[in-house]
Every structure is written in C-alpha cells, then in structure tokens.
Chain A
Amino acid sequence: MTEWYGMVPEFGQLALIFALLVSVLQVVIPLLGVRNSQDWLMAYARPLASAQAVFLLISLAILTYCFVVDDFSVAYVAKNSNTALPTPFKVSAVWGAHEGSLLLWVTLLGCWGLAVSLFSRSLPLDMVARVLSIMGMVSVGFILFTLETSNPFERSLPSVPSEGADLNPLLQDFGLIVHPPTLYMGYVGLSVAFAFALAALMGGRLDAAWARWSRPWTTAAWIFLTVGIALGSWWAYYELGWGGWWFWDPVENASLMPWLVATALLHSLAVTEKRGLFKSWTVLLAIFAFSLSLLGTFLVRSGVLTSVHAFASDPERGIFILALLGICVGGSLLLYALKAPTVASVGRYEWVSRESFMLLNNLLLVVAAFAILLGTLYPLVIDFFGMGKISVGASWFNTMFVPLSVLLALIIGPGALSRWKADELKRIGGQTVAAAIISLLLAFAVPLLHGGDMNWQVFLGIAVALWLITVTLTDVWKKCRGQLSRIPSLGLSFQGMVLAHIGVAITIIGVAMVANYSEEKAARMAPGDIETLGAYQFEFVQAGHIEGPNFVSDAARFRVTKDGKEISLLTPEKRRYNARGQIMTEAAIDVSLFRDVYISMGEPLDNGAWGMRLQVKPFMRWVWLGAIFMSLGGALAMADKRYRRRKTLQEANA
C-alpha cells in the first residue's frame, strides 16, 4: 500500500502538466477572442495567466519540499543534495543544476505573466489578450522542454540511493542562493517587453501609449538583470578564489548582451514615448533583447560552448532549445519583417538634439552587444570551418568594449541635458565647459596622487567618469534653477535617470582603479611569516583545522596591519567537501569602501608552509556600488506617477 505522501513528487509533475495545459489555453482563447472581437474570450487571458503561475509555483514548491526532506528517490534531488547539506543550501540546490533551474525559469515566466495580469488595468483588453497570449506561447515551449527533456521529478525507483551526491561546493554559498533567481527574473522579464512589442506589431498600434505601457516592465526586467549580473560578478570574486570579478566567460557574456540591448531599449522606448520616433527600431530592440536572453539559455544548456558555468550538456536538449529559439526568434523576426512597414515614424529632429544623442547611445550599446556576440560565437565559427579549437581571450573583449564604453560615457551627460527636437552645440557647450575643466584637472590629479606617476588609462577612466558626474550634476542644478529644494519636484523619472547615470560613473571609476592599481603577491608562507604588500603587512599567525557541517578545512589565521595598526584578522580556508571530495578555496576578504584586502590559500608546501596569494584591490566595491545606483535609479523611474494613471487611458481608448 502506498502512502499518499510517497507520491508528492508526482503531484509536482502533475502541477507542471496542468500548467502546460493552462498555458496552451492561454495562447489560444485570448487570440480567438481578438480575432472575433469577443470580449468575453479575451477576458480569459488574465485568469488563465494567473492559473498558470499558480500551478508552476505549486510545482516549484513541491520540488523544494523534496529537497528539504531529502527525498532521494527523486533522481535530481539525489544528484544535487545530501543529508548533511544545510537547509538554506538544500533550497538553493533546487536551481543548482539544469532541471531545477529550468523549472525556476518557467515559474518566473509564469510570475511575470501573473504580474502583467494584475497590473494591466489601464490597458485595453485586446492588448492584454495579445500580450498574455504571446507570453503563453513562450511558456508552452519551455514547459514542454522541461517535461520532455529535463523533468526534475523523475524517480530513480526502485533502487533509491540512501545518500545524495551533494551540491557542487562552488554553489554552496549565499551568492548562489540569490544570483540565479535574480538573473532569471531579468532574463524572463524581458519576455514582457517582447510580448508588448509583438502585440503592438500584431495590432498595428505602435504608439506612445504602447511605449508608456512597455517602459515600466522593461525597466523592471532591466533592474533585475543589473542586480543579477552584479551579484554574479561579486560571487565569482569571492568564491572562485583568485580575485577576478569579470572573466568574459561565454555565460557572463550571455547575461551582458541582453543587458546592453535592454539598456538601449529603455532609451529607445523613451524616445518613442516622448516623440513618437524610432518605433520600428524599438520593436526590433525588444525582440533582440529577449532573443539574446534565450540565446544565453541555449548557450549555457546545450553544451555548444565550453564554459565554467556549463550545465551537464546533452545534445538532445540542445536541439530542443535550438528549435524553440528558431520558432521564437525566427517567428518574431518574420513578423517584424512583414509588419514593420505599416508603422512609419513621423516627426523630425535636427542633427543636434536629444534624439540624435539617443540614437548614438543605441548605436554604441548595440555595437557593444554585437561585438560581444561576435567574440562569444567566434570559437564556434572557427570550429565550423574546421580551423581548430580556439578561445577568444579577454583582450578581444577589452579592446572592443573599453573604447565603446568611453564614448558612451562621454555622451551620456550632454545627451541628458540636451533638448528634444533641436538644440545648439553652443548651448550644450556653454553649460558643460566648467564640468569639462573640473573633470580634466581632477583626472590628472588622481593618478599622480594615488599611484605617484601618470597612468593614462586611469586618467581616461576617471576623466570620463567625472565628466559624466559633473555634467549630470550641472543638469540637475540648471533644472532646479539653483535651488536644491526644488529637486523633489523634478519628478521621479528624472531623479532615477540621474541616479542611474551616476551609477555608471561609479562603476567606471571602480573598474579603472581596480584594473590599474591592484597589487598582488604569491608567497610561500609558514606560520610566523610576515609579508608586505603595498602599505599592508600580512602576518601568518596560526594554521588550524575547521570542521564544517559537510566539509573539513585547513585554515590560516592572518593578522593584517597597516602602519603598525591592526586592520583585521582574516581566516582563509581550503575546504574539502566530504561527499564529492572536492577542494574549494575560501578567500578571506577585508572590505572597505576604498580597498579590499584579499587572501586566498594555494597549495600546501613542505614543513607546514602554504602557497598564499595576497591581494590589495583599491575601489573594488565601486564596481558593484555603481550597479546598485543604477538599479535604484531604475526603481525610482518605475515609480513615476505617469505609469499609474488609469482612468485617462481607458477613456482615451473607449
């Protein structure tokens, strides 16, 4: 006799199947309604989208439950968990490998659908019907994919392993609890902008209203993407143990490309909303942004490219995702090619105008994304023509990306203070002369004071960052006409923009400083040894052992001093995880706003000595602080009142 609770995983699978059925209905019924102008059919879009989200959430909750209670009869749980694993990590193990992370992916997609159905009161019903129907199509594809090739509920009956294989130790970390869900929220969130764009194409109504509806959704997805990427970089920095924070790894690129295009989309949407221009281009960007996030999914999961992040690859899955990608991207681009001519932009603008700046911004961002795409796919192309296996190094990406970012940083400030339609270089120049002088002078001073000699890379980085900040502040000053008390009345959108742009500058400063002034030393150290790096002394006080819940580690106690004063006690570890015997380096970091002190343990040497890696990284935090500013800016802009006007729009459409 089977107890009902022995069947819990089957309920999870059942919920997933229900979600699939509901999403099929969500595709068909609202579209039928639109086609036959039947309001009551269109009205099914919202409840169906909500039901889909509920079933997916149930399914995800059941998988989480299986992890928490160590149900090793579920093959996925047995492969990625262990009884000794602490409970928070059991929860995060849900998305620790391919199957579960895919379930998370579709669940978040369902949640975005739910959000659209909740916050779309101001939208005309046919628009809601189209948007949710398109999101339903994406759901159908990916739920099918999950059920067909990557079912997380698959059982390994009747021989149930008594113990699980444990979660990859790299992933046993707070960063990994939060990084994937955030990033996926961003990826999947772009499907909303995508659905809006396609719905507008289908309905032939690419107008300012469409851009206004689409903007807050795009911004929301962009915020998640920004935070997700920053979290990933932060995680790599402290968990991989060599102090790097960006590796131009295919998977990182896969997240950066949609971010760049989504950033372009945000700006292009602004032009479409305010001026009714760039419509066709905006639609294309919305398609690109989501396509690139699908492409990221494909690259990570198909095993087409080798990467440190790669999930267990399986060609069968690859073909399925490729087909999904083909239908989704190919279909939308076909729709674009057929329908785009019907939506001509009206309105003119001069060479010097905010529109031109926005165009330039879009161009730079898209070219940057394209350069990264090229670099990421290049090894594949080379392989394709049988010219051997190569990998594109960081230098390619840096030579492409750095100049483009510098150009972009130069135009952000003037772009934001320029006027729509027509402006004069003289006016813009007049407003920014002071800013230019200040930033050049300070940029000369920084490398001289910090490093002691002229470093042109630092100069360039600091100059463009300060230029961005000073021009932005000038703009604020002019807009509030010299009275800071007027700042609150400038509007949340404007304040958000200012914050986000300053965030860009902060990140640039961080990158320029840490890339040029990081100090590093690899030394053989035994207890009692002292090494000096820059202004810091590192004393290896003591060696010891630590017993964790599912690992044992060799640890080293360090006293870090500067000018004879103790800064901190740091304890880097070398962990060995019991279940898989995997060795992990746990770096110890002393964090402050202007520098990080970073110690990681290398290999054990003879006589109790260890290879130690000591690093001092100035302004490291600024790289991520900038991302926080950007996302806060996005949040402010989203909160702007004009997105929450309801009645007026409904009347306009009546």
Chain B
Amino acid sequence: MKRLMLFIPLVVFFGMGVLFWVGLGQEDKSVLPSPLIGKPFPQFILNTVESGESLNHLPQEAVLVNVWATWCPTCKAEHEFLNALAQQGVKIVGINYKDDDFKARQWLKAYGNPYLFNIADPDGQLGLELGVYGAPETFLVDSQGIIRGKHVGDLNARVWEKLQPQFEALK
C-alpha cells in the first residue's frame, strides 16, 4: 500500500501533462478575449488616407479591420499576406495608426494596396478606443458593425487558418 502511495506524484503529474497537451492544441491564445468583442465598433469621424474625405462608418459587410503604420516593421512583414488575402476577395479596412498620411500613401504605392480604404488616425484616438496596444492588430467586424474577434500581431497563413472559419461565419 505504502509502495503504491509513492506513485501518486507521478500519476498527478501525468494528469497535468494530459491537460497541458490538450491546452497546447487549443486555438491560438493571441486571440485575446477583448472586452470589445460583441460590442459595436466605436464611433468615429475621420478622414481617409487616400482622398482625405471624411468618413464615419465601416462598410456594411463582414470586414477585417487592420491597424497598421509605416513605422511598424511587423506591418511590413504582414503586408504581403494582406495583399494575398485581398486577392482572395477578403475585404480589409485599414486604420493608419499614429502615422503620416503622405508616408502612408507612398507605402501603399510601393507595396500595393490591399485595403478598401484607409482611415487616418494620426492621434491614435480611434486606436485608443479600440484598445490597440501595438501594431499590427486585426479586428473581425460583422455586417452589423459588431466586433467579433481580435488578433494581436501579424496575420500570416498559420493565424489565418484559425481565423478564416470565424470570418467566413460572419458573412
């Protein structure tokens, strides 16, 4: 009996191991539960980067809202993938976060423009309301303008594999 007791730590550890194993298989943890999920996209009146016209709503369809900036190296790494997504017909709205319109236009000319349009957020006001803490970040917004998901960090094939079903479901 006492002999068997000695195996208890091993058994408990084994149980924890299984738990971790399953935990690892779970979806990407960088899909942080954001308090904004399920809430409407914050209101804004801002200009577009492309034409400077004033804008106060998102298109009424499921879109990705991608927060980016020219000062952000990861955004550059991400850009190619966004171009590919746009070609597949994914609708992406950009928020040019704490950036310069001129630089942003040059960037879009140089690397291609995957965005329907870009909202200029030079003071980071909209970013603040969205709880952005670093670019790039991407929000999944449905046709009613409700935020359904959020990803922190760059979008890439691995991340998209997980986000795509969620995004398709919004359509």
Contacts and interface: CB of A to CB of B under 8 A. Distances in A.
Contacts of A313: 29-30
B10 interface: yes
Interface in B112-171: 124, 128, 133-135, 153
A580 B71 contact: yes
A330 B29 contact: no
Contacts of B6: 336-337, 340-341
B7 A337 contact: yes
A322 B30 CA distance: 20
Contacts of B9: 284, 287-288, 333, 336-337
Tell me which of B30, B69, B73 has the highest count of chain A C-beta atoms within 10 A of its own C-beta: B73
B30 A579 contact: no
B107 interface: no
Given A333-B10, A333-B13, A578-B71, A298 B20 contact: yes
Nearest to B9: A333
A279 to B, nearest CB: 13
Contacts of B25: 315
Interface in A274-310: 284, 287-288, 291, 298, 302-306, 310
A341 B3 contact: yes
Interface residues of B, number: 36
B23 A581 contact: no
Contacts of A325: 17, 20
B30 A377 contact: no
Contacts of A319: 24
B123 to A, nearest CB: 9
B72 interface: yes
B29 A304 contact: yes
A580 B76 CA distance: 12
A306 B71 contact: no
A330 B14 contact: yes
Interface stretch (A381-389, A419-427, A529-537): A381-389
A611 interface: no
Given A313-B29, A330-B17, A581-B98, A380 B23 contact: yes
A326 interface: yes
A104 B30 CA distance: 25
A288 B10 CA distance: 11
Interface string A308-331: 001011010011001001100110
A322 B134 contact: no
B16 interface: yes
B22 interface: yes
Nearest to B12: A333
B35 interface: no
B132 to A, nearest CB: 10
A575 to B, nearest CB: 14
Nearest to B74: A165
- The interface size bin for chain A is 35 or more
A322 B73 contact: no
A330 B7 CA distance: 11
B21 interface: yes
Contacts of A318: 20, 24
Nearest to B24: A318
A165 B134 contact: no
B51 interface: no
Interface in B3-53: 3, 6-7, 9-10, 13-14, 16-17, 19-26, 28-30, 32-33
A281 to B, nearest CB: 11
A305 B24 CA distance: 9
Contact of B73 (A165, A310, A603): A165
B71 A581 contact: yes
B23 A383 contact: yes
Nearest to B70: A581
Tell me which of B2, B21, B23, B74 has the highest count of chain A C-beta atoms within 10 A of its own C-beta: B23
A403 B107 CA distance: 59
Nearest to A334: B10
A381 B19 contact: yes
A289 to B, nearest CB: 13
A322 B20 contact: yes
B19 A380 contact: yes
A389 B13 contact: no
A304 B69 contact: no
A384 B71 contact: no
Contact of B23 (A384, A579, A583): A384
Tell me which of A298, A318, A341 has the highest count of chain B C-beta atoms within 10 A of its own C-beta: A318
A322 B16 CA distance: 10
A389 B34 CA distance: 12
B16 A302 contact: no
A580 B7 contact: no
A568 interface: no
A306 B17 contact: no
A288 B22 CA distance: 22
B10 A582 contact: no
B86 to A, nearest CB: 23
A302 B24 contact: yes
A485 to B, nearest CB: 49
Given A322-B24, A380-B19, A580-B71, A330 B10 contact: yes
Contacts of A380: 19-20, 23
B110 to A, nearest CB: 15
B29 A161 contact: no
Nearest to A161: B73
Interface string B59-93: 00000000001011110000000000000000000
A165 B98 CA distance: 17
Given A306-B32, A329-B13, A389-B33, A580 B20 contact: no
A274 B82 CA distance: 67
Contacts of B73: 161, 163, 165, 579
Nearest to A317: B24
A298 B21 CA distance: 12
A582 B71 CA distance: 10
Nearest to B18: A384
Contacts of A582: 133-134
Given A302-B20, A318-B24, 11 more contacts: A303-B28, A303-B29, A312-B153, A313-B30, A330-B14, A333-B9, A340-B6, A383-B23, A578-B71, A579-B71, A581-B135
21 contacts: A165-B73, A284-B9, A287-B9, A291-B13, A298-B20, A302-B24, A318-B20, A325-B20, A330-B13, A336-B10, A337-B7, A341-B2, A341-B3, A377-B19, A380-B19, A380-B23, A381-B19, A384-B23, A578-B71, A580-B72, A581-B72
3 interchain residue pairs of minimum CB distance: A333-B10, A337-B6, A165-B73
